[in-house]
Amino acid sequence: AMGISRVGGKPFPARELKAEGFLLMPAGRSGPAFVATPNVYVLKQYNTSDLYALFIGHGADRIAHGDANFAGGWGAVGGLHRSDIAALQRALEAKGYDVGSADGLPGFKTRRSIGTWQAKNGRAATCFPDAGLVAALK
């Protein structure tokens, strides 16, 4: 009803249409989007990486349902190095934001903090790091 469709055009199973789902975009606007269910949090109890949860969940779907490979490119992610992300995280921490840790990886807490900072500062809340954000927070 919202215009969301599966890559291969196959309809969503009826049980999934009634379930809670949310949009997961680990590469931000530069990459593919996934409809995930709360089960992703179960997978993340073992490993907190969004990509880990996506790939394990996708592997399980392929085994159970024969679903196809991912489609679409991941694109460039802001042209930033891990050290740039770590500097961004430290700057957000200095402003009181919880980024998890300044490890140079833009995980959920970092992306949430970025989105909150962007919204509070009159910017579009993309929740994803880019060079302009790094410069603005220095």
- Residues 70 and 15 grouped into a single domain: yes
Structural domains in the chain (count)? 2
- Residues 71 and 97 grouped into a single domain: no
| Residue bearing the bigger pLDDT, 99 or 76 | 99
What is the CB-side half-sphere exposure of residue 80 using CA atoms within 13 A? 23
Phi, psi of 23 (to 5 degrees): -85, 125
Q: What is the pLDDT of residues 27-58, one digit of tens each?
A: 766 677 888 888 888 998 988 888 888 889 88
Domain of residue 124: give its range. 82-137
- Residues 71 and 17 grouped into a single domain: yes
- Residues 70 and 91 grouped into a single domain: no
- Residues 92 and 57 grouped into a single domain: no
- Residues 67 and 94 grouped into a single domain: no
- Residues 120 and 67 grouped into a single domain: no
